[in-house]
Amino acid sequence: MNTVNTINELREQVRAWKAEGLTIGLCPTMGYLHEGHASLMDASVKSCDRTVASVFVNPIQFGPNEDLATYPRDFESDCKLLEAHGVDLVFHPEPAEMYADDFCTFVDIDVLSKTLCGKTRPIHFRGVCTVITKLLNTVTPDKIFFGQKDAQQLAIIRRMVRDLNFNVEVIGCPIVREADGLAKSSRNTYLNPDERRAARILSRAVRLGQSIADEGERSSETLLAAMREKLASEPMADVEYVEVVNGENMQPVDTFREGDLVAMAVRIGGTRLIDNFTVGQPPIEFQEGQSNAD
């Protein structure tokens, strides 16, 4: 496995592979990798001749009061995981390599970015779309892989690829969970043991929502009331949103159907966590009453 730090080196390696007729998969990450990321790498290695992973904490997708400075980093450990999962090339640029001092071009998406996380993170998806555009233009991959955990991000990237005619297939990979149901996230490392236990409430609410939907309920109001009640049962949980939106355009729906997205953001202590399910997907499974922190 090779590591490069510059756009030019990355482009050079891609050019060599393309000259050989090899297909390329791209897995963009912010590092501090976990099994969720590993599942993207596995999907790419399985379906593409070569896999590029980027490890870059993208400054322009963080708001002024967000956790850019404290976002966890461990590049050495990341490389071990990437190598173990068969990644061919790691792109690990400095911020200055990606953003010149007078950088001023942004890819912005309307409508889909205004709901859910976009309400409290107004520049987040602009930052995501911009950095993904840069990576797509440099790697020109055949496929690009994202986790379903960031469901709104995935929907936005799909829309961006369609609207701007990127010649790439967008692959969404299922959420990977801890044994007790908590969705894997680099930010889980922020949680102290009490918060870690309390964080189980998100996946509990997801499972409750899934069971209600599976029983045939189609009223968003009814579904959300039950999920909010479940979340409210955890005193440490501070709910930012729980919503039901159309799976493609991310707009709220009163009556939901298969393919719609039920998504939440919940603060546990100072840590903002997200989770979601798509209506019609198989129910999530985890060990009741047990926490990795127990």
- Which amino acids are annotated as binding site for beta-alanine, given as ranges? 61
Closest approach, Cβ 5 to its own copies, in A, equals 15
**Which CB, 80 or 114, lies closer to its own copies?**
114
Q: Does 294 bind its own copies (CB under 8 A)?
A: no
Q: x/- contact string, 1-40, with its own copies (CB under 8 A)?
A: ------x---x-----------------------------
Structure tokens given for 39: 């599942």
Tell me whether strands 2-4 and 89-91 are parallel, antiparallel or unpaired. parallel
Does the annotation mark 37 as catalytic?
A: yes
User: How does DSSP assign 38-93, residue by residue?
Assistant: HHHHHHHHHHSSEEEEEE---GGGS-TTSSTTT----HHHHHHHHHHTT--EEE--
Give CA–CA dist 136/140, Å, rounded: 5
Q: Which of 134, 177, 184, 200 binds its own copies (CB under 8 A)?
A: 134
Sign (positive/negative) of CA torsion 76, 78, 84, 90? negative
Please tell me the distance from the alpha carbon of residue 60 to that of residue 281, in angstroms, as a whole number.
33
Among 24, 57, 129, 242, binds its own copies (CB under 8 A): 129
How many CB atoms are located within 10 Å of the residue 199 CB?
29
Tokens standing for 129?
């779309």
- Binding flag, residue 192, its own copies (CB under 8 A): no
* Binder of its own copies out of 20, 69, 101, 167 (CB under 8 A): 167
Q: Count residues contacting its own copies (CB under 8 A)?
A: 30
Contact 12, 54 (CB under 8 A): no
Distance of CA 65 to the CA centre of its chain: 20
Subset of 221-250 contacting its own copies (CB under 8 A): 249
Q: Considering the rule CB under 8 A, would residue 137 count as an interface residue with its own copies?
A: yes
**For its own copies, the closer CB: 21 or 235:** 21
Which C-beta is closer to its own copies: that of 170 or that of 175?
Answer: 170
Site for its own copies in 81-100 (CB under 8 A): 100
Site string for its own copies, 146-165 (x = CB under 8 A): -------------xx-xxxx
Cβ pair 232, 266 in contact under 8 A:
no
- Establish if 106 lies at the interface with its own copies (CB under 8 A): yes
Q: For residue 170, which of 282, 27, 55 has the smallest C-alpha distance?
A: 27
Q: How many CB atoms lie within 10 A of CB 258?
A: 10
* Closer CB to its own copies, 110 or 285, in the complex: 110
Question: Using an 8 Å Cβ cutoff, are 87 and 53 in contact?
Answer: yes
The residue from 30, 57, 79, 109 that contacts its own copies (CB under 8 A) is 109
- Enumerate the known binding-site residues for (R)-pantoate: 61, 153
> Binding residues for its own copies, per CB under 8 A?
7, 11, 100, 102-112, 129-130, 133-134, 137-138, 140, 159-160, 162-167, 249
Catalytic machinery residues: 37
